Structure 1
């Protein structure tokens, strides 16, 4: 079955045909590093991590570029507030972002360029645009893109220029010829980072950086360009205008965007995530909260599983209580791997569930349907005591980068107030009480462990235990 993916540009699924056979060149917009990454970034980056992993599992050599925006109004303001340089601020949060993505199980990009390292390439594009009549210097000294001179403007967002002008995102600026024209180069202001240019000292606008970096690493036309839903307009629309305007070539063949993420507030209502609403979740905070619920070290696995279970193009609702189902589901899969350890044979793509897994992933990376095959394998592994089914479960899970931890460690997690030695000691005390026919004491020990989040299972080989959720009093 051929791989089909949905392109925002064509508004339909298309058979994926790379420019070069066996190779995929993909660019995903990264973050502006002035603060910690939030769970919306996590959702987008996990989605494209899985897309990349499936392409590689399908035999493609993938060049995956994800940029870092390290010059921006927000960065300048935050650096001033903290009395540090922009470089010091962006270094700190770039490292934090990389750590967060690795913790969430995302592969590092093939290359992760910083905007400030590509000023000459940006100036070259602006120069081309000016010579073609697509850019001009404003009275304020900025260089702006002349949107009405690019006949295809709006083709990604599907809006006409008149629709876009009436939109709330377009701010009035008397120095520009048209309110929709966007800034390519900002003239220097005192105390801000600045570079020399043919139009005077200044710094790049936001949109131009991605055109420069993607073309540098992937060529003037490449396969896939991706990002979050908020980037469709204006960022990606402007990238197309300036890249295709400068180079006279199609910029990217396929445009992929994730669905929006919203959060559930304390009243159980769905709303946009915002610091002003007090519902803002960084990746670090979400992992810490999830660790607290499901055991130290399990939080990142559970959060990744939660964020990937919804189809990448669909909206997703986040809330600490909503993650419980993801934990219980992951627990089911790990229980199967614990009960029936996998054999060491290679993944069998001819096996029924593996075939359906591949079909789902080839259908616009349909992870929810692919994950359903994992539960089928878990059921078969336990019902048939089949090490082959466990192997299929574990190796298909590896493609999504889940189920690769020790099952016993995941199921035990960490238990408040008791370490593993204390739990084993309590189990031994219970066994001794049962042997002495002191069943009341044995039941008391079991009940105490249950209250601490430890469930016991008696088997012919002895007593085993695992962590369970315990509702905490508020």
Structure 2
């Protein structure tokens, strides 16, 4: 049987010696504020978080937002002990969804009607290409076509293609990223149009895939208004698919489900009622087309009301205002009282979904949806509102204004949200990751390729400030991988104490490690209380491990080791680094550090036997009697659980091999080789590694990515050496063979070539091919070559390899 785990003392939750009060960075005040919940008892925290707009797969930029929010949520609940009421919405109707759903519907119809690539399909796609280029790549000439596109773009957009800004002077940014996207889209369409074959089913599929992004807007411009507005399935078919995929992605990243999920399409009546209240309060007005706009000027005339409180410097940014209104909201004429006024309710145009309202058929404005859903679940005031930093203006500023207009009546100054938390962007080459820029890697792609897993990606975010931007670099990847390996190796060591307790400990190091432990707890607490400063908390954890590793383990009691490990386990679990494991169950470690339960009995037995065999083989006293006593400690049963069979076979095979060596009276070296084979092959192939240690039993651990990478590198070096040796041997053999062939040549014949026209009796050249005497210097050089060949030839004859 495996060595039983050592009994551990009951674990008490460690308390910081000087607890600091929680402060949070509040976008509303642009400063750190004491966190004081609305709840009179200070326990319940009401939190609304802006959820996804579900029209495409979530990407790593979304992971940055939702994983980081999840970290803050877990820290508030798991560390600070608040009872959270966490609400997250699903935006399943807005301009992007309407446009994407409609476009996908029309493209599917077009492909169904045109199952082959006919001349008419080609002509339509060329028109689509022309329209796309004219709209999105204005530097190209009006005469550009699919034949001249590549050459002209290489000329007009050379700076952007080379990674520079369009003017070649300022740093490149989102503008250049968008141009690159348009260049890729148009270039892909050109490739499809110029493809020599479009007849096979595979060709047709490739053609439509390449032409899709130019066809989508073109077909929508032709037929978008013909969509039946009452048929919401045109849009919900898209949103339901991507909502399900979003949920799958979040769970794969270990993001907790919201307590409450709200969907815009389920709130049509409440949105109308909410907008009516704002109109009644005098802060919104109707236009003749049936739209309703928020009256910013009227709102700010009431004392205590302020617009654009989050980013007042952006309130005049027409580009951001336009983005906030949506791509389908551009009108040639408008009855808006101010350009900055934003839509609460939009009259539905042909081809757009519609709901009944007092102002006529329409649909919600983008910003009103969150105000209504948050207010419906959380009431007229909430503690926290969160989202990505790009939502500050206009989305959250508009939410704030319209909600305060709804709840404040005429008094003004109503505080709808107490703390706004905004997550920083995830950037690629200086540009934020964005669906609209198409510069993203989806979450499922990254996980499927093995670029990241739930833990490694979360560690990267924990090592950066939650409201700071992050650009993933190789150095950042290495830092995250190093931190994970450091903690994993620490857990291996402490968990090994459960199997191999430190019986001889003097306890002399306890006070030193305990002091480091208390210091680390204080540092971590103060960091988390300082607006969730996870980078400092992560350094406190790794710093404690460093202090632990430097301690003399012979003088450290296991109880202190277990206390340190339980606290570190608690912290990493609170951060969400160990799936759904309970931070408070007193456990040690995280997933991935343990071998399968069914393997333990046999693996620990064979590891123990191996340790003893190695020890006796090294000291030279491995007698047959000693060997039999070692083997007798454990005999595998005749029957095992099916899952345990491979591990039982490793034990029995090792014992059989030991018996075989004993019968042959094999030398100690053979026993040591057998022990290495057990470690490096038999157990390794089962995903288990025995880490040999000096003056200590081997540590049993799983084969992880770090070990595998180290072995792969070692094997690659060995392969390179073997290949280099083989190359040298081959070259040497070729050299010898060439020399052997050369030795067969009689020196009298070696210079009888077209280069000369006369020779003496020894075969030395006397005249060149034109009949002139060979120069003395040349003759001297040829004589040396002749003498060398003569020696080779004589040795060849002497060896009996041939005849003159």
Please classify the TM superposition score into its range, dividing by the shorter chain length.
0.7 to 0.9
Q: 1:362 aligns with which of 513, 519, 529?
A: 529
Say whether 1:18 aligns with 2:11. Answer: no
- Within 5 Å, which residues of 2 pair with 1:421-440? 435-436=669-670
* Alpha-carbon distance, 1:438 to partner: 8.4
Q: CA deviation at 1:446?
A: 5.6
Q: Which residue of 2 aligns with 1:149?
A: 298
Within the alignment, does 1:48 sit opposite 2:97 as a pair?
A: no
Partner of 2:285: 136
Partners of 1:69 and 1:116 in 2: CA distance: 8
Residue 260 of structure 1 is matched in structure 2 by 425
1:378/1:393 contact within 8 Å kept: no
Equivalent-residue separation in structure 2 for 1:293 and 1:166 (angstroms) = 35
- Looking at structure 2, the residues matched to 96 and 225 of structure 1 have their Cα atoms a distance apart, in angstroms, of 24
- Residue 31 of structure 1 deviates from its aligned partner by 0.6
Q: 1: CA distance between counterparts of 2:438 and 2:294?
A: 37
String of CA shifts for 1:369-418, please: whole Å, max 9, x gaps: 111122133334444461111111101212112246796963699xxxxx
Q: Quote the residue 1:228 is aligned against.
A: 388
Give yes or no for contact 2:569–2:590 (8 Å, CA) kept in 1: no
1:108 aligns with 2:290: no
Distance, in Å, in 2 between the alignment partners of 1:160 and 1:464 is: 59
Shift in CA distance, 148/409, structure 1 to aligned 2, threshold 3 Å:
closer
Residue 125 (1) aligns with residue 274 (2): yes
Return the match for 1:61 from 68, 76, 83.
83
| Structure 1 residue 402 corresponds to structure 2 residue 577 | yes
2:217 alignment partner in structure 1: none
**Secondary structure class of the residue paired with 2:527:** helix
User: Which residue in the other structure is 1:339 paired with?
Assistant: 493
Cα deviation for residue 321 of structure 1 reads 7.4
Q: Which moved more, 1:139-148 or 1:120-129?
A: 139-148
Instruction: Give the alignment of 1:443-454 within 5 angstroms.
Output: none
The superposition leaves residues 302-333 of structure 1 with CA deviations (integer Å, 9 ceiling, x where unpaired) of 11222222110111112577434312311210
> 1:457 touches 1:463 (CA, 8 Å); kept in 2?
yes
Q: Cα gap change, 1:393/1:278 in structure 2, threshold over 3 Å: closer, same or farther? A: same
Offset, 1:455: 7.7
Change (3 A) 1:441 1:358: closer
The separation in 2 between residues aligned to 1:463 and 1:14, in whole angstroms, is 48
Question: 2:252, 2:465 → 1: CA distance?
Answer: 21
Residue matched to 1:187: 347
2:59 to 38, 51, 55: 38
Q: Normalization by structure 1: what TM-score?
A: 0.83
Q: Distance in 2 between matches of 1:457 and 1:312?
A: 38
The CA deviation at 1:75 is: 1.8
C-alpha separation in 1, matches of 2:51 and 2:72: 16
Report matched runs for 1:220-299 at 5 Å. 220-248=380-408, 249-263=414-428, 269-274=429-434, 279-289=439-449, 292=450, 299=453
C-alpha separation in 2, matches of 1:140 and 1:92: 33
Q: Tell me how far apart the structure 1 counterparts of residues 591 and 43 of structure 2 sit (CA, whole Å).
A: 39
Q: Is the 8 A contact 1:32 1:69 kept in 2?
A: yes
8 Å contact from structure 1 (residues 54, 399) kept in 2: yes
Partner Cα distance (2:261, 2:520) in 1:
36
Distance 1:408 1:195, change over 3 A: closer
SS in 2 for 1:150: helix
Q: In 2 relative to 1, CA 95–435 (structure 1 residues): closer, same or farther, beyond 3 Å?
A: farther
Q: Distance in 2 between matches of 1:370 and 1:247?
A: 40
Call closer, same or farther: CA 1:166–1:191 in 2, change over 3 Å. closer
Counterpart position of 1:393: 568
> Is the CA contact 2:47–2:382 (under 8 Å) kept in the aligned structure 1?
yes
Give SS of 1:262's match: strand
Deviation of residue 208 (structure 1)?
0.3
| Residues 377 and 390 in structure 1, CA contact (< 8 A), matched pair in contact too | no
Provide structure 2 residue ranges, at least 5 long, that are not aligned to the other structure. Answer: 1-19, 109-232, 301-305, 409-413, 499-516, 582-587, 596-643, 662-667, 717-804
Kept in 2, the 8 Å contact 1:46–1:308? The answer is no
| Preserved CA contact (<8 Å) 2:314 2:393 | no
Task: Tell me how far 1:54 sits from its aligned partner.
Answer: 2.0
Aligned 1:453-472 pairs, distance under 5 A: 457-459=691-693, 460-462=696-698, 464=700, 466-467=703-704, 468=706, 470=709
Contact 2:688–2:700 (8 Å) recurs in 1:
no
> Which structure features the higher share of helix residues?
2
Shift of 1:47: 2.0
Q: Deviations over 1:274-297 (max 9, x none)?
A: 4576631222122223xx367xxx
Residue 300 of structure 1 corresponds to 454
User: In proportion to residue count, which structure has more strand?
Assistant: 1
Distance 1:167 1:105 in 2: 33
SS in 2 for 1:457: strand
CA spacing shift, 1:168–1:150, aligned 2, 3 Å: closer
Q: How far has the Cα of 1:4 moved from its partner?
A: 0.4
Q: Secondary structure at the match of 2:261?
A: coil
| Distance in 1 (alpha carbons) for counterparts of 2:91 and 2:314 | 29
Aligned residues: 448
Contact map agreement 1:7 1:14 (CA 8 A) in 2:
yes
Query: What residue number does 2:22 align with?
Result: 3
Instruction: Output one character per residue of 1:47-78: Cα deviation in whole Å (capped at 9) or x when no partner.
Output: 22222222223232111111111111222233
Equivalent residues of 1:68, 1:113 under 8 A apart: yes
Partner SS, residue 267 of structure 2? helix
Rounded to whole Å, the distance in 2 between the matches of 1:73 and 1:392 is 48
Q: Aligned to 1:461, what secondary structure does the other structure show?
A: strand
Counterpart of 2:159 in structure 1 is: none
Conserved 8 A contact 1:8-1:255: yes
Contact between 1:378 and 1:390, CA under 8 Å: does it hold in 2? no
Match of 1:346 in 2: none
How far 1:214 sits from its partner (Å)? Answer: 0.8
The residue number in structure 2 matching 1:375 is 542
Deviation at 1:177, TM superposition (A): 2.5
**Cα distance in 1 between the residues matched to 2:432 and 2:68:** 20
Bigger-Rg structure (1/2): 2
Distance (whole Å) between structure 2 residues aligned to residue 60 and residue 463 of structure 1? 40
1:95 is aligned to 244
Paired residues of 1:335 and 1:407 also in contact (CA < 8 A): no
8 Å CA contact retained: 2:292, 2:346: yes
Question: How far did 1:140 drift?
Answer: 3.0
RMSD (CA atoms): 3.7
Q: 1:168 to 1:244 in 2, by over 3 A?
A: closer
Contact 1:226 1:257 in 2 (8 A): yes
